[in-house]
Amino acid sequence: MTIPRKITTYTPYRVPRSKELTTTFTEEESTLAIANCRKHGITFGAALTILGQLGSSRLLHRRYIRGEMEKEEWEWRRIQPSNSLIYLNYRPYLDKDWYANGGSEVVALGISYFFHTHSYMPTVSDEWIVHNRHNLRDDAPPFSALLSQGRFVLRSNEIKQKFKKFVAHPLLFEIASARLPMNLPLRKQAGKVWMKIQEGGELEEPEKHVPSVLADDVICHNSESSMGNVSFIYPLAYLFLLPITRIRLTPSNQANTRCIRSTHFPPRSTTPGQMPMETFQLNQLSGS
């Protein structure tokens, strides 16, 4: 969720300008994060989904505490369901022989989506804010004030169990295939209008603001993708014979990705032994 959300009737036909923020954990921090997940019987992907919700909660708290959000909007956002869009790698569920004989390393798109709706957004009370706002380092409550460790593990396990049921569904591939035809007409229409604008044409209707607060639209507060350990897929250095040149890839493994509208998109990969956290944000929606 990008805040503030400035959406108009022209938004689907404008090419977004993305921002990228990358933070790379050290090898020791990466190892500790994975070890703690295993200790509590949860996956890193499930834990990061909850962290994404907590991050969104802290962002909203910060705007409310600074007076950048009205009371009515704050109370509305507190009770809205938090939706996460998780990109699911379908390759392990395809033909086993193909996957074992190199299919896992083929450069091709093989994903679909797993949607998860959280129970509620963790918040603190107005009384808590009054008593603690002067002690906050960044005008937002700490993670410990929003969700206890026990609740964190509980929510992570909930995602893990729902995911297991989802991939075990007998119509897993049919569910993925059914989503594609619904999106094609919208993408086609957006492309046609965009081409018309590039050729100097104008839209038939004047641009109008589309309210995204106090509305009934379903909004994904964050979306995620896990690339896993890519050190086994491609080498970190390529050697060219003529001329003798060596190109070395940086461990951060940054990707120039066009993110989904109105979401933060944090892809994750490990190489070599380090986890970079990459967040992509659309300028046109954030107003920056």
Q: Which phi and psi angles does 261 have, rounded to 5°?
A: -60, 140
* Confidence category of residue 1, pLDDT binned at 50, 70, 90: very low
Query: Do 281 and 31 form a contact (C-beta atoms < 8 A)?
Result: no
Q: Residue 201 and residue 195: Cα distance in Å, rounded?
A: 9
Whether the pLDDT of residue 203 is over 80: the answer is no
Whether the pLDDT of residue 127 is over 90: the answer is yes
Whether the pLDDT of residue 278 is over 70: the answer is no
By mean pLDDT, which of 29-38, 59-68, 78-87, 276-285 is the weakest?
Answer: 276-285
Predicted local distance difference test score (pLDDT) of residue 214: 66
Query: Do 52 and 223 form a contact (C-beta atoms < 8 A)?
Result: no
3-state secondary structure 37-74: HHHCCCCHHHHHHHHHHHHHHHHHHHHHHCCCCCHHHH
Helix, strand, or coil (residue 277): strand
How large a percentage of the chain has pLDDT more than 90? 20
* Confidence category of residue 245, pLDDT binned at 50, 70, 90: very low
Q: Residue 48 and residue 51: Cα distance in Å, rounded?
A: 5
Predicted local distance difference test score (pLDDT) of residue 205: 80
Predicted local distance difference test score (pLDDT) of residue 277: 63
Query: Do 86 and 223 form a contact (C-beta atoms < 8 A)?
Result: yes
Query: Do 84 and 223 form a contact (C-beta atoms < 8 A)?
Result: yes
Predicted local distance difference test score (pLDDT) of residue 85: 82
Mean pLDDT of the chain: 76
Highest mean pLDDT among 8-17, 34-43, 105-114: 34-43
Render 75-122 in DSSP notation, one character per residue: HHHHTSPPEEEEEEE-GGGS-HHHHHTTGGG--S--EEEEEEE-S---
Predicted local distance difference test score (pLDDT) of residue 230: 53
Instruction: Give the up-direction half-sphere exposure of residue 175: CA atoms within 13 A in the CB hemisphere.
Output: 14
Topology classification of domain 11-174+208-286: Chloramphenicol Acetyltransferase (3.30.559)
* Confidence category of residue 225, pLDDT binned at 50, 70, 90: low
* Confidence category of residue 153, pLDDT binned at 50, 70, 90: very high
Q: Which amino acid is at 59?
A: L
- Find the helix or strand (DSSP H, E) in which 150 lies: helix 149-167
Q: Which phi and psi angles does 241 have, rounded to 5°?
A: -75, -45
Mean pLDDT for the stretch of residues 261-277:
49
* Confidence category of residue 106, pLDDT binned at 50, 70, 90: confident
Predicted local distance difference test score (pLDDT) of residue 246: 42
Instruction: Work out the angle between the directed axes of helices 71-78 and 44-65 (0-180°, nearest 10).
Output: 160
Q: Residue 276 and residue 286: Cα distance in Å, rounded?
A: 23
Dihedral-angle region of residue 253 (phi above 0 means left; psi in -120 to 50 means alpha; beta otherwise): left
Identify which of 44, 30, 20, 38 has the alpha carbon closest to the alpha carbon of residue 266. Answer: 20
Q: Residue 265 and residue 260: Cα distance in Å, rounded?
A: 7
pTM: 0.73
- Find the helix or strand (DSSP H, E) in which 30 lies: helix 27-39
Where is pLDDT greater, at 197 or 148?
148
Whether the pLDDT of residue 178 is over 60: the answer is yes
Residue ranges of the domains in the chain?
A: 11-174+208-286
